[in-house]
Amino acid sequence: MSRHVLFVHAPIPGARFSSSIAALSAWLKAHGHTTALLVVPPGTAPDAVRPLLRDARPDVVAFSYMTCRAQDVARLVAAAREELPHARLVAGGAHPTSYPRETLAALPLDAVCVGEGEAPLLAFVEAPDAPHPGLVRRGHDDAVTRWWAMDVDALPDWDRALFGDVRNDGNRYERAVGVAFARGFCPYTCTFCGVDGYRRLNAPPKGAVTRLRSVDRVLREMEGARALFPDVDAFASWDEILPGSRRWQRAFMEGYRERIGLPLSCHLRVEQVTDDLVESLVLGGCDYVVLGVETGDEGYRRKFLDKGFSNADARAAFAKLHAAGIATFLSFMIGLPFETPQMLKKTVQLARELAATTLSWKYYTPERGTRLFGLVERHGLVIDRWVDHPFGGEEAMVQMTHCTQRDLDVATAALRLIADAQGSHEEGERERERERGTFAGPPRPELSDLALELRA
Ligand code: B12
Ligand code: SF4
């Protein structure tokens, strides 16, 4: 029997498209169910949402969210429970995956999904009384287990049509149309990164860390997205780090040039930037990469962040990319635990040397579940209000022990001067791209703001 499932999308500003919802909607439709999307922009009062919840008349309401939206979603779940007493409510995504039991205890949900959600959600829609890996149901003694999609080529294309516009605001990577090249986790193990924490929590079985899709399957999805949105002007790999063997990457770039031929962007690790990879990127038309160098102190980077590359490696990587005409987005963290004025000087110096197209620096955010958070906790450096903060602060987000806020302000001012001198301000990136019209050819129209709407 076909069921109607309403997805609730309550993102941060500018995040129009959710790959999580698009993946699940496609899967449900492929199995004979219907779906709708309720878009709830930040700041919407739950009362404004109530009539739309009633209009949707769903059998199941599915909430997908990250920790940064947990408070708002809690209010929406409460509103849905009141307005739709007969519907079944389920939540999944990064936050419920990290805190399944807490989420079920705090919110009037019928179930929570842990990890990948296609099969668990389908089971919840079709047979809610039966247990399923990945589902933790209210009133049952379900263990917290996970389901993994092992045949990744068999997953349907993301349901982009459900969203209407699939571009997000932000840098060129975020504005491009995202496609996942793989399922799984970045294979690196940076101590500060939520992805590493998330992987440890999810304990993927052997073979599930990176499940690479075939080149043809990824390209077919891109062709489908272009057919749906003829004005698509760029794609991005929505993987934490460009996955794949050299051979896969080369085959993909060759196919991408022939079958797609649009600008492409991705995230890379400095260690990945070899002559061979740069040649492949140029071949495919990849003209924008995002790289995290984090700090100019290579000893600290290796010892405390588990990023083993040297400053010389970073200089070589940026030089290679720039020589090939590939624009770079470089990100640093300041306000790192135990940071010293000398470390800050090294960061400023390296920022100057790397001369990225766009220079970005943010205060380090302590993320629960990461190894660096464990260190911060053990040393009593946690500042509660900054833990897992989605947007970061304009001040140190952990207690500083070896430098002052004044030292951090001085470093920030120096970084700003470099960005000014090199014309590489993050905020200015979009403006300059629009003026120059380099990324998308002609200047692109401003994206519309998110509006409260029910999309069928
Ligand atoms: C691509 C990506 C993005 C994209 C958007 C992705 C999206 N879904 O909207 C962009 C670049 C815009 C982005 C932005 C942000 N991101 Co992000 N992102 C990722 C990344 C690298 C991959 C996510 C992805 O596309 N996966 C592919 C899809 C198909 O899988 P999925 O999202 O995991 O969804 C599956 C399951 O979670 C589950 N599921 C999800 N929802 C639901 C709902 C139900 C009902 C059910 C049953 C199941 C279910 O089923 C899905 C299909 O199997 C992850 C890292 C990771 N490995 O997950 C970080 C990650 C999700 N992002 C993260 C963060 C912090 C952010 C930002 C807050 C960053 C910022 N400060 O701006 C914003 C928030 C955007 C928002 N939604 O409001 C964190 C979330 C941590 C947390 N506990 O919340 C992650 C885990 C990385 C990390 N640990 O640091 N992100
Ligand atoms: S390489 Fe990037 S995504 Fe991977 S663990 Fe490190 S910071 Fe996280």
- Please tell me the distance between residue 199's alpha carbon and the centre of ligand 1 in angstroms: 13
For residue 390, which atom of ligand 1 is closest to its CA?
A: 71
pTM for the predicted model, two decimal places? 0.93
Answer yes or no: do 293 and 371 share one domain: yes
CA of 189 to the centre of ligand 2 (A): 6
| Parent domain of 306 | 167-436
Tell whether 380 is covered by a domain. yes
Nearest atom, ligand 2, residue 240 CA: 3
Q: What is the pLDDT along the chain (456 residues), one digit of tens a residue?
A: 899 999 999 998 888 899 999 999 999 999 999 999 999 998 899 899 999 999 999 999 999 999 889 999 999 999 999 999 999 999 999 999 989 999 999 999 999 999 999 999 999 999 999 999 999 999 999 999 999 999 999 999 999 999 988 888 878 888 899 999 999 888 899 999 988 777 777 777 777 788 999 999 999 999 999 999 998 999 999 999 999 899 999 999 999 999 999 999 999 999 999 999 999 999 999 999 999 999 999 999 999 999 999 999 999 999 999 999 999 999 999 999 999 999 999 999 999 999 999 999 999 999 988 999 999 999 999 999 999 887 778 899 999 999 999 999 999 999 999 998 887 766 555 554 444 333 333 344 556 778 899 998
Q: Do 208 and 248 have their domain in common? A: yes
Q: Are residues 123 and 172 in the same domain?
A: no
Q: Which residues line ligand 1 (CB under 6 A)?
A: 11-12, 15, 18-20, 23-24, 62-64, 66-69, 90-95, 97-98, 113, 116-118, 120-121, 168, 174, 180, 185, 194-195, 198, 238, 240, 390-391
Residues 288 and 376 reside in one and the same domain: yes
Ligand nearest to the CA of 90: 1
Q: Which of 173, 192, 196, 332 to mutate to test the pocket of ligand 2 (most atoms within 8 A of CB)?
A: 196
How many folded domains does the chain comprise? 2
Closest ligand to C-alpha of residue 372 is 2
**Of 123, 149, 175, which residue constitutes the final position of a domain?**
149
Does 454 map to a domain?
no
Residues 177, 130 share a domain:
no
Ligand 2 pocket by C-beta < 6 Å: which residues?
Answer: 186, 188, 190, 193, 195-196, 240-241, 269, 292
Q: Which helix (H) or strand (E) holds 331?
A: strand 327-334
DSSP output for 267-323: EE-GGG--HHHHHHHHHHTEEEEEEEEE-S-HHHHHHHH-----HHHHHHHHHHHHH
Q: From ligand 1's centre to the CA of 20, what distance in Å?
A: 7
Report the residue among 193, 198, 210, 373 best suited for mutation to probe ligand 2: largest number of ligand atoms under 8 A from its CB: 193
**Ligand nearest to the backbone CA of 239:** 1
What DSSP letter does each residue of 146-164 carry, written as one string?
Answer: -B----GGGSPPP-GGGTS
**Do 144 and 200 belong to one domain?**
no
Residue closest via CA to ligand 1's atom 17 equals 66
Quick one: which of 101, 192, 113, 103 has its CA closest to 387?
192
Q: Which atom of ligand 1 is nearest to the CA of 62?
A: 45
126 and 245 inside one domain:
no
CB of 195 within 8 A of CB of 186? yes
R_g of the chain computed on alpha carbons: 22
Pairing mode, strands 235-237 and 327-334: unpaired
Q: Is residue 63 part of a domain?
A: yes
Q: Report if residue 338 sits inside a domain.
A: yes
Atom of ligand 1 nearest to the CA of 97: 37
**Which tens digit of pLDDT belongs to each residue from 286-321?**
999 999 999 999 999 999 999 999 999 999 999 999
**Same-domain pairing of 380 and 332:** yes
In b/e form, how buried is each residue of 369-394, taking b as 16+ CB within 10 angstroms?
Answer: bbbbbebbeeeebbeeebbbbeeeee
Atom of ligand 1 nearest to the CA of 183: 27
Q: Taking the mean position of all CA atoms in its chain, how far away is CA 145?
A: 23
Structural domain includes residue 93: yes
Whether 445 is in a domain gets the answer no
Residue 324 Cα to ligand 1 middle (Å): 31
CATH of the domain at 133: 3.40.50.280
